[in-house]
Amino acid sequence: MKIKEIRVHLLQKKLTSSMIISRGGFDVRHHLIVEVVTDEGITGLGEGVGSARIIQQILQGFMIEQALGLDPMSIEAVRSKLIDSQVYMEQKGSVICAASAIEMACWDIKGKALNVPVFQLLGGHYLDKIEAYASDVYWEEDPEKMGENASRIKSLGYGAIKAHLGCKSPREDISRIQALRDAIGPDIDLMIDLNGGYNRLQAFQAAKLWEPFNLYWLEEPVNPNQIDCLADLRSRTSVPIAAGENEFRVHGFKQLFDKNAVDVAMPDIGRVGGIQETRNICALAEAYGILVSPHNYSSGVLLGATIQLMASIPNAHLLEIDTSDNAVYQELLVEPLQIKDGIVRVPEFPGLGVELNEEVLKKYSVH
């Protein structure tokens, strides 16, 4: 089997609700989807997560040409060709995101060719159900509105909810954490994501001031390049630290682990180098005793891939679910996810369990 063609699709969807984070906000969600077509007629989908238009240019500029003619069943060979074959090696960035998309699609093809879900190719079922957390509370000027949104999500049955803060100082944002905790009560786990928006002093202040609210984790409190700062913060606070959505490849995560910088690792399959790279990171994390909660905040293609991976690994912890209806999400799944009381049943369709039909393209495609 050979890769015959790769089609690149840029999808976009207008927001239906506010999405303000510490470093700004946006009113449109973009998704970069690749459709890898083989000479045997089997097609696979993958997604590159990051700056969608830059990833698109990298794919169309040189990477598609590199991939044509490769055997999608030989995934290690594809990974090596796309990531490690250049004279000037790319360690991080959008080139890795672009390769992640093609690699992900190869797993989809391989699963379909063998008529098994991808988790069977990764070692089989470890989990047939995955606990999820809802990631859909964004910063608002009125703390009570954030509390109302959290209460809405709680009513859906989720036992863990993540909110984005950091638009104001740690002391000013206490009122928002209080509103969230009042709305969901003491028994629902509450995560706070700062999206790398605080400096060192603010991050230390936040960890100290927010400790009484029993946070489940504090995510990306500082710039992701400041690993020493992150490690220092973790050593001084009782609040668990989560990070990794902006890290690349297993080598980047080894730095995080060696420096004791995280309690929860958050690789993104569509950024970090693909499914195999993420599985390697999970294995390394297990050796360090670290749980892995993959970053999963894009389209239904990334969602499908993340579920398949998490179903196969022992240190998978909490699936991130976007409850906002702001992404091209369930429309890309073969069937909508079965979610009850925050528990996701792992689908067993061949491949990643995703599809891209003409209706979705017509509705969301950017030409």
Residue 82 counted as domain residue? yes
Q: What is the Cα–Cα distance from 180 to 165, expressed in whole angstroms?
A: 11
Pairing relationship of beta strands 43-48 and 28-38 according to DSSP bridges: antiparallel
- Using the Cα atoms of residue 145, residue 147, residue 149 and residue 155 in order, give the sign of their dihedral: negative
Give pLDDT, residue 86.
Answer: 82
pLDDT at 89 over 90: no
> For the segment 320-341, what is each residue's pLDDT rounded down to a tens digit?
999 999 999 999 999 999 999 9
Instruction: Specify burial of residue 334 (Cβ count, 10 A radius: 0-12, 13-18, 19+).
Output: middle
* pTM, rounded to two decimals: 0.97
Exposed e or buried b per residue across 225-249, where buried means at least 16 C-beta atoms within 10 angstroms of its C-beta: ebbebbbbbbeebebbbbbbbbbbb
Give pLDDT, residue 303.
Answer: 98
- State phi, psi for 268 to the nearest 5 degrees: -105, 120
Q: Residue 288 is part of which domain span?
A: 121-345
Residue 353 counted as domain residue? no
- State phi, psi for 17 to the nearest 5 degrees: -150, 165
CA-atom Rg of the chain in angstroms: 20
| CA nearest neighbour of 238 among 265, 267, 266, 209 | 209
> Same domain, yes or no, for 57 and 80?
yes
> Same domain, yes or no, for 179 and 74?
no
> Same domain, yes or no, for 209 and 296?
yes
| CA nearest neighbour of 191 among 213, 224, 222 | 213
Answer for the pair 94, 61: CB distance below 8 angstroms, yes or no: no
pLDDT at 33 over 80: yes
Task: Please state, in angstroms and as integers, the Cα–Cα distance from residue 343 to each residue in 128, 140, 332, following that order.
Answer: 10, 28, 20
pLDDT at 87 over 70: no
Residue located via tokens 């489940």: 216
Q: What is the Cα–Cα distance from 274 to 157, expressed in whole angstroms?
A: 31
> Same domain, yes or no, for 108 and 74?
yes
Q: What is the CATH number of the domain that holds 141?
A: 3.20.20.120
Q: What is the CATH number of the domain that holds 8?
A: 3.30.390.10
> Same domain, yes or no, for 164 and 93?
no
Average pLDDT, the chain: 97
For the record, the structure tokens of 309 come out as 């991976």
> For the segment 250-267, what is each residue's pLDDT rounded down to a tens digit?
999 999 999 999 999 999
> For the segment 190-206, what is each residue's pLDDT rounded down to a tens digit?
999 999 999 999 999 99
> Same domain, yes or no, for 195 and 319?
yes
What's the pLDDT band for 32 if we cut at 50, 70, 90? very high
Q: How many domains does the chain have?
A: 2
Q: Average pLDDT for residues 138-153, to the nearest whole number?
A: 96
> Same domain, yes or no, for 258 and 181?
yes
- State phi, psi for 322 to the nearest 5 degrees: -90, 110
> Same domain, yes or no, for 34 and 157?
no
